[in-house]
């Protein structure tokens, strides 16, 4: 054990004053003890052991069901280093406003010390974290989501000073006394007042994205909100594709996609479904690892059609949070297969019937499940060097404007697509749902520093990579005049992945594309819209680039980019100008 870890734990316990301190080793025996404790005090409910062996339900405080972005802070010394898209608090203010909330916060509770790795034990890209928490629910989730316990203690034993401390306390769970604070300069995390995944499992958003993005800036790599999948083609070749999509926009479903063309040899393998750490390899390609060991997925909408692999994965050893249950303690959520049950217990523990007029499961209810239970887990998911990326997808949720898929002209243009992407908000964060907001690289809530500098870093990484991946924009969510989704999505997204693969395999000589002012768009024929039964009019809408919509889009992008002042890289400004030029009618 690094003595600095012990010193930090001592220091924290002098302030938080727990009744007991427990160092977690990650063993089954330890986990069983914690589960028994939580079942006996009502934190967990054991689910039907026949249908869902070793599965549990947790009902959270109804005020604590999603990430709270307005209570999430980057505490850099200078406000400009947090940038216009982050909430900023100075480290001194954090000391005065947040630290006192930890005083005696663990009195009457046990403090768990959770050493963990982000990344496989044998990867050179793996990093160490230590979370102290007064929530056994957090410990049980961290055990699924990370390599936790002895394996991390062993690494710390070497005396490594390179670990990230994360202090977490449930506090009183009041949003009035809730802060998720990140100190990029000292690489420290404080979280108080929430037990919700993204706020409390500190390895995930706080470390693997916010703190890691600043490490990546300093060390020349990228920490991204991306799935990683391997697309197997009939010749047995696997093309690796990463995809950045905002929360609750289908990353898990795409990463675990069940191919409708499996009998023809097209198949998807999952490497990761939420986070990618990307390094420039010695061969000039970008190589990605998934730093996580489990999936913290959105339950509603998951079913045998949309994600049969997830349904199999969550059928054992999983923790469900804020879903509904049936009389026989099976789980249920909106969008589950089969008829809606006539009676349920809803996510808050109240009797529910279809006449109740409320959602039985919370729209952001979740499952936590080990990656190893995924039937399509890639055999390369723990490769120490990661997997080589051939393509990156940027995807938003857009009812209009953005076509199903298009390819950028080059890396710089692709970075511009990422920098200007937008999406309608979802239930993964508190606040209004369905509002279009700019969400660059799906990192708006997760970038630990000034986004202008972040884009400069992306441009720089591309320059260092001799063969960077091709960049695409996708949008599964385009609607028709009646507000219905045009694209069937889910397994049929395979059609888009196939086109992406063909484009990257053929390189610059790729055909089957139409050059438009925004990028290269496929033809409906190559995607096969007719086989899907889509009308010609719907197919046109799916691939249309409407000049007026795009002029409005470019205007809105401009307003957003302006916010970055002199931190906006010139290349992004030039890309925006070039888009406007391509959209303008040719002058005569
Ligand atoms: C998540 C999120 O939980 O993005 O992955 O909110
Ligand atoms: Mn996410």
Position 508 scores a pLDDT of 63
Burial class (CB in 10 A: 0-12, 13-18, 19+), 429: buried
251 alpha carbon – ligand 2 mean position (Å): 8
247 alpha carbon – ligand 2 mean position (Å): 5
DSSP conformation letters of 181-196: EEETTTTEEEEES---
What is the SS3 assignment for 337? coil
585 alpha carbon – ligand 1 mean position (Å): 41
Apex CA 118: angle with CA 115 and CA 123, to 5°? 115
CB of residue 274 inside a 6 A radius of ligand 1 = yes
On whether the CB atoms of residues 550 and 401 are closer than 8 A, the answer is yes
Q: Which of the ligands is closest to the CA of residue 199? A: 1
Nearest CA to 531 among 303, 261, 266, 265? 261
248 alpha carbon – ligand 1 mean position (Å): 7
The residues with which 191 forms a beta bridge, in sequence order, are 168, 180
Give the separation between CA 561 and CA 452, rounded to whole angstroms. Answer: 9
422 alpha carbon – ligand 2 mean position (Å): 16
pTM greater than 0.85: yes
CA distances from 302 to 75, 111, 389, 413, 429 (A): 37, 35, 27, 34, 19
On whether the CB atoms of residues 280 and 131 are closer than 8 A, the answer is no
Atom of ligand 1 nearest to the CA of 198: 3
Give the separation between CA 310 and CA 447, rounded to whole angstroms. Answer: 28
Give the separation between CA 577 and CA 450, rounded to whole angstroms. Answer: 22
On whether the CB atoms of residues 527 and 410 are closer than 8 A, the answer is no
CB of residue 428 inside a 6 A radius of ligand 1 = yes
CB of residue 26 inside a 6 A radius of ligand 1 = no
Residue matched to tokens 């470019």 = 554
Atom of ligand 1 nearest to the CA of 225: 4
Residue 492 has φ and ψ, to the nearest 5°, of: -70, -15
The CB density around residue 70, as the number of other CB atoms within 10 Å, is 12
Query: No. of H helices and E strands in the chain?
Result: 17, 31
Write the residue with the smallest CA distance to atom 3 of ligand 1.
198
29 alpha carbon – ligand 2 mean position (Å): 30
Write the residue with the smallest CA distance to atom 2 of ligand 1.
247
Position 160 scores a pLDDT of 73
* Pocket test residue of 199, 205, 397 for ligand 1, highest count of atoms within 8 A of CB: 205
Give the separation between CA 322 and CA 361, rounded to whole angstroms. Answer: 6
The CB density around residue 159, as the number of other CB atoms within 10 Å, is 10
Catalytic residues: 249
Helix or strand run (H / E) with residue 227: strand 226-232
* Pocket test residue of 248, 255, 272 for ligand 1, highest count of atoms within 8 A of CB: 248
Give the separation between CA 545 and CA 514, rounded to whole angstroms. Answer: 11
Give the separation between CA 277 and CA 351, rounded to whole angstroms. Answer: 44
Give the separation between CA 545 and CA 521, rounded to whole angstroms. Answer: 9
Give the separation between CA 530 and CA 475, rounded to whole angstroms. Answer: 19
- Cα 18 to the center of its chain, rounded Å: 32
CA distances from 368 to 113, 140, 535 (A): 20, 10, 39
Q: Which of the ligands is closest to the CA of residue 294? A: 1
Q: Which of the ligands is closest to the CA of residue 244? A: 2
Q: Which of the ligands is closest to the CA of residue 445? A: 1
The CB density around residue 274, as the number of other CB atoms within 10 Å, is 26
Expressed in percent and rounded to 5, the helix, strand and coil fractions of the chain are 35, 25, 45
The CB density around residue 500, as the number of other CB atoms within 10 Å, is 24
DSSP conformation letters of 497-555: HHHHHHHHHHGGG--SEEE-SSSEEE-HHHHTTTTTT--HHHHHHHH---HHHHHHHHH
Q: Record the tokens describing residue 503, joined without a space.
A: 């484009």
* Pocket test residue of 64, 141, 196, 198 for ligand 1, highest count of atoms within 8 A of CB: 198
Give the separation between CA 227 and CA 251, rounded to whole angstroms. Answer: 6
Straight-line distance from the first to the last Cα atom of the chain, in angstroms, rounded to the nearest whole number: 73
Atom of ligand 1 nearest to the CA of 429: 6
582 alpha carbon – ligand 2 mean position (Å): 34
Position 362 scores a pLDDT of 98
CB of residue 67 inside a 6 A radius of ligand 1 = yes
CB of residue 197 inside a 6 A radius of ligand 1 = yes
Atom of ligand 1 nearest to the CA of 298: 3
Position 3 scores a pLDDT of 67
Residue matched to tokens 């959209």 = 583
Helix or strand run (H / E) with residue 454: helix 451-464
The CB density around residue 556, as the number of other CB atoms within 10 Å, is 15
Give the separation between CA 192 and CA 110, rounded to whole angstroms. Answer: 15
Give the pLDDT means over successive 10-residue stretches in the chain (588 positions).
85 98 98 98 98 98 96 98 98 98 98 98 96 98 98 86 94 97 98 97 98 98 98 97 95 97 97 98 98 98 97 98 98 97 98 97 98 98 98 96 97 98 91 91 98 98 97 96 95 97 82 90 95 96 96 97 98 98 76
Nearest CA to 552 among 446, 401, 411? 401
Nearest CA to 5 among 99, 113, 111? 113
405 alpha carbon – ligand 1 mean position (Å): 23
* Pocket test residue of 200, 227, 247 for ligand 1, highest count of atoms within 8 A of CB: 247
On whether the CB atoms of residues 554 and 409 are closer than 8 A, the answer is no
Q: Record the tokens describing residue 498, joined without a space.
A: 């196939």
Position 588 scores a pLDDT of 44
The residues with which 39 forms a beta bridge, in sequence order, are none
Atom of ligand 1 nearest to the CA of 428: 6
On whether the CB atoms of residues 547 and 583 are closer than 8 A, the answer is yes
Position 115 scores a pLDDT of 98
Write the residue with the smallest CA distance to atom 4 of ligand 1.
247
């Amino acid at each position: 054990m690094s003595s600095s870890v012990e010193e930090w734990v001592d220091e924290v316990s002098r302030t938080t004053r727990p009744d007991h301190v427990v160092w977690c080793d990650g063993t089954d025996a330890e986990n069983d003890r914690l589960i028994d404790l939580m079942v006996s005090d009502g934190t967990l409910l054991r689910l039907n052991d026949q249908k869902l062996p070793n599965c549990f339900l947790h009902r959270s405080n109804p005020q604590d069901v999603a990430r709270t972005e307005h209570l999430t802070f980057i505490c850099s010394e200078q406000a400009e280093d947090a940038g216009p898209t982050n909430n900023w608090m100075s480290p001194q203010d954090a000391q005065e406003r947040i630290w006192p909330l930890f005083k005696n916060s663990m009195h009457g509770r046990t403090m768990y010390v959770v050493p963990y790795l982000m990344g496989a034990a044998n990867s050179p890209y793996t990093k160490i974290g230590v979370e102290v928490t007064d929530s056994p629910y957090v410990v049980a989730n961290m055990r699924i989501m990370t390599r936790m316990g002895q394996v991390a203690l062993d690494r710390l034993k070497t005396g490594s000073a390179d670990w990230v401390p994360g202090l977490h306390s449930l506090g009183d769970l009041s949003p009035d006394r809730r802060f998720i604070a990140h100190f990029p300069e000292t690489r420290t995390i404080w979280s108080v007042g929430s037990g919700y995944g993204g706020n409390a499992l500190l390895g995930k958003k706080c470390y693997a994205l916010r703190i890691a993005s600043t490490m990546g800036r300093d060390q020349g790599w990228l920490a991204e909100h991306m799935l990683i999948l391997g697309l197997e083609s009939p010749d047995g070749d696997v093309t690796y594709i990463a995809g950045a999509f905002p929360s609750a926009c289908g990353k898990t479903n795409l990463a675990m996609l069940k191919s409708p063309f499996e009998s023809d040899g097209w198949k998807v393998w999952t490497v990761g479904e939420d986070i990618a750490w990307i390094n420039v390899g010695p061969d000039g390609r970008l190589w990605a690892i998934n730093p996580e060991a489990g999936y913290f997925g959105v339950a509603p909408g998951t079913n045998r059609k949309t994600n049969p692999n997830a349904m199999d994965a969550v059928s054992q050893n999983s923790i469900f949070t804020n879903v509904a249950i049936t009389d026989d303690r099976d789980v249920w959520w909106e969008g589950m297969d089969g008829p809606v049950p006539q009676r349920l217990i809803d996510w808050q523990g109240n009797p529910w019937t279809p006449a109740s007029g409320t959602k039985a499961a919370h729209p952001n209810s979740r499952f936590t499940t080990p990656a190893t239970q995924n039937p399509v887990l890639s055999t390369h998911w723990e490769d120490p060097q990661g997997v080589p990326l051939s393509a990156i997808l940027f995807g938003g949720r857009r009812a209009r404007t953005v076509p199903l898929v298009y390819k950028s002209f080059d890396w710089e243009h692709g970075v511009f697509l990422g920098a200007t992407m937008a999406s309608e908000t979802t239930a993964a964060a508190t606040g209004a749902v369905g509002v279009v907001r700019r969400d660059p690289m799906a990192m708006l809530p997760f970038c630990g520093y000034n986004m202008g500098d972040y884009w400069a870093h992306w441009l720089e990484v591309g320059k260092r990579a001799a063969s960077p991946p091709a960049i695409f924009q996708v949008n599964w969510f385009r609607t028709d005049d009646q507000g219905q989704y045009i694209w069937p999505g889910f397994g049929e997204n395979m059609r888009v992945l196939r086109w992406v693969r063909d484009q990257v395999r053929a390189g610059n000589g790729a055909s089957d594309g139409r050059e438009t002012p925004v990028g290269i768009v496929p033809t409906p024929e190559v995607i096969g819209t007719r086989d899907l039964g889509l009308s010609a009019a719907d197919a046109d809408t799916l691939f249309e680039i409407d000049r007026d919509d795009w002029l409005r889009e470019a205007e809105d992008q401009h307003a957003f980019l302006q916010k970055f002042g002199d931190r906006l890289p010139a290349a992004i400004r030039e890309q925006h100008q070039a888009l406007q030029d391509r959209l303008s009618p040719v002058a005569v």
